[in-house]
Amino acid sequence: MNATLHIVSMGPGDSAYLTPSADQALEAAQTVMGYRLYLDLLGQRMAGKRRVDFELGQERDRARAALAEAAAGVPTALVSSGDAGIYAMATLVFETIEQAYPTACPNVEVVPGISAMQLAAARAGAPLGHDFCAISLSDLLTPWAQIERRLRAAAEGDFVVALYNPVSRRRTWQLDQARDHLLAHRAPETPVVIARDLARADESVTHTTLEALNTYTVDMLTVVIVGNSQTRQFGGHIYTPRGYHTKESLLATDEHG
Amino acid sequence: MNATLHIVSMGPGDSAYLTPSADQALEAAQTVMGYRLYLDLLGQRMAGKRRVDFELGQERDRARAALAEAAAGVPTALVSSGDAGIYAMATLVFETIEQAYPTACPNVEVVPGISAMQLAAARAGAPLGHDFCAISLSDLLTPWAQIERRLRAAAEGDFVVALYNPVSRRRTWQLDQARDHLLAHRAPETPVVIARDLARADESVTHTTLEALNTYTVDMLTVVIVGNSQTRQFGGHIYTPRGYHTKESLLATDEHG
């Protein structure tokens, strides 16, 4: 009796980044659930579907309701912004399965999408062109000490760093501390991308430096990319070269496609 | 006279993950360049275009040729698999601009796409559900000592780790060393996803453990995702919960969408 639950990534902003695979999953669904404003963005794709709107902050409710709908035999899509697998709904669905459906679980398929850091990177140039990491600065579910451990590791490893959830109304000091951890291992003039409200009418992508990065330069709709020791700013673009440049490496070809 | 060069991400495999934004960029192009097999996958999208095929390993030539075409006034698309901004063509174009077009550079726009780790994660569940990093094990352009520094940092920071380019015909020992660096800080039974030839007819996604991971389990078409201390395997899925679980966190709502 179980139907399939598709966890569908919308990508950032409007549907310019919604893949054909995501479109198929929406088409197959009879019920579509998600944050109200995301469902609005789907426009004609919602025609003929049962629509279940949720408010921000009801992530656990969304996961439970979507699983219950699929368990009742209704093909269902749960919509997530960005990539559902990166700081979004997918993992919450699997947590809920383990807690609430330990034996007979609906079939779940995740459809990947463009995460905010990827569009931020594309707009700026290619800052994620070499090894990078993604760190959420939200300490609501992760102790700050663990987040600091990651920031220190990212700094010591010279990773390009994408910072998600840099601030919120209640979290106002985390970004400044993150900057200081990174400044301990990289130059004050390290290039930084600040991308806000991507793929929306109010999109802004600005460039700054690590020393100039602070809580007042971002808001809840922002993703931040901090370059590593090799990241360069040239001709209005920020990019991280593929390797650590030596005379040999500049002449070499490589294996990437 | 300069025209725009679009660096277009195809996503993995066929066109199920090619975004409308990528489609638009291809449509706007008069010349489309890229690795021969990727251009074959574009099928009808190539109709009426000048097509310039490259072999594997000619990445620098592709970047130079695409920039020259756009600089000559021809709207051009340079195609890249996965996300052009992640271990792919985009950063090489910006490197080439800085070297060859220091003053008058063609307009370049990057169209992001689904990278291999994202589809691998979606197929397996949600292993990238919390902080993660991406590390390429190719030491052709990056000294192995720097890669080891990253592996140690990733292990110390308890990041989920996506390993790109785990082996090649000439690089046969790097994955075993990477595994040993991670084993120094995480359990032998840590869940691992091995994803090969994603979105192609021969796709395989298998689950293993960190201690069982070795060079013989992968090839050049593989991406590997190693879980962190929190990553769970349940009901055929591998997922990393959003936070570090405490009684409080299980009751909390959060800010993610």
How many other CB atoms are found less than 10 A from the CB of residue B108?
A: 25
Q: B143, A17: Cβ pair inside 8 Å?
A: no
To test the contact with chain B by mutation, choose from A141, A142, A167 the residue with the greatest count of B C-beta atoms within 10 A, namely A141
Do residue B87 and residue A158 have CB atoms under 8 angstroms apart? no
Closest to A110 measured CA to CA, from A5, A3, A1: A5
Q: Which are the contacts of B145, defined by CB distance < 8 A and separation ≥ 6?
A: none
CB-side neighbour CA atoms (13 Å) of A226: 33
Closest partner CB to A141 (pick from B84, B98, B242): B242
Q: Is the pLDDT of residue B253 over 50?
A: no
Report d(CA B190, CA A166) in Å as an integer.
29
- pLDDT of the residue at B245: 61
Region A113-125: what's the mean pLDDT?
98
Please indicate whether, in this complex, the C-beta atoms of A239 and B122 are within 8 angstroms of each other. Answer: no
- Which chain A residues touch B115 with a CB distance below 8 Å? 118
Confidence of residue A245 (pLDDT cuts 50, 70, 90): low
pLDDT in tens, B100-118: 998 888 899 999 999 999 9
Q: Which residues of A touch B255 (CB under 8 A)?
A: 56-57, 138, 140, 165, 168, 220
Note the pLDDT of residue B239.
98
* pLDDT band at residue B169 under the 50/70/90 scheme: confident
The amino acid sitting at A133 is C
pLDDT confidence tier of residue B83, bands split at 50, 70 and 90:
very high
- Angstroms from B36 CA to nearest CA on chain A: 11
In chain A, what residues touch B67 (CB-CB under 8 Å)? none
Tell me the C-alpha distance between A167 and A215, whole Å: 7
Q: What is the pLDDT of residue A169?
A: 87
At A102, is the pLDDT very low, low, confident or very high (cuts 50, 70, 90)? confident
The amino acid occupying position A122 is A
Is the predicted pLDDT of residue A246 greater than 60, yes or no? no
Chain B, nearest residue to A90 by Cα = B126
Which amino acid, residue B16?
A
In this structure, are residues A33 and A54 in contact, taking their beta carbons and an 8 Å threshold?
yes
**∠ CA(A181), CA(A184), CA(A190), 5° rounding?**
90
For the stretch B190-236, pLDDT in tens is 999 999 999 999 999 999 999 999 999 999 999 999 999 999 999 89
Contact flag A141-B16 (C-beta cutoff 8 Å): no
In whole angstroms, give the CA distance from residue B88 to residue B65.
16
Subunit contact A19:B21, Cβ cutoff 8 A: no
A152: chain B residues, CB-CB within 8 Å: 157
- Mean pLDDT confidence for B35-45: 94
Q: Taking CB atoms and an 8 Å limit, are A142 and B130 in contact across chains?
A: yes
The yes-or-no verdict on residue A124 having pLDDT over 70 is yes
For chain A, how big is the Rg over CA atoms in Å? 20
With a cut of 60, say whether residue B22 has pLDDT above it: yes
pLDDT beyond 70 at B247? no
Task: Find the range with the poorest average confidence among A223-237, B119-133, B187-201, B236-250.
Answer: B236-250
Structure confidence at residue A251 as a pLDDT band (50, 70, 90): very low
Q: Taking CB atoms and an 8 Å limit, are A256 and B121 in contact across chains?
A: no
User: Which of the four pLDDT bands, split at 50, 70 and 90, describes residue B156?
Assistant: very high
Q: A49 to chain B nearest CA, in Å? A: 21
Per residue, what are the HEC states of chain B?
CCCEEEEEECECCCHHHCCHHHHHHHHHCCEEEEEHHHHHHCHHHHCCCEEEEECCCCHHHHHHHHHHHHHCCCCEEEEECECCCCCCHHHHHHHHHHHHCCCCCCEEEEECCCCHHHHHHHHHEECCCCCEEEEECCCCCCCHHHHHHHHHHHHHCCCEEEEECCCCCCCCCHHHHHHHHHHCCCCCCCEEEEEECCCCCCCEEEEEEHHHCCHHHCCCCEEEEECCCCCEEECCEEECCCCCCCHHHHHCCCCCC
pLDDT(B14) > 70: yes
* Contact residues for B89 (Cβ-Cβ < 8 A; gap 6+): A256, A257, B7, B59, B62, B63, B78, B80
Instruction: Give the C-alpha distances (Å, rounded to integers) separating A161 from A197, B71, B88, B126.
Output: 19, 33, 18, 21
Of the candidate ranges A77-81, A248-252, B79-83, B181-185, the one whose mean pLDDT is the lowest:
A248-252
Mean pLDDT of B37-41: 93
Q: What ipTM, to 2 d.p.?
A: 0.95
Give the one of A87, A94, A132 whose C-beta lies nearest to B237's C-beta.
A94
% pLDDT > 90, chain A: 85
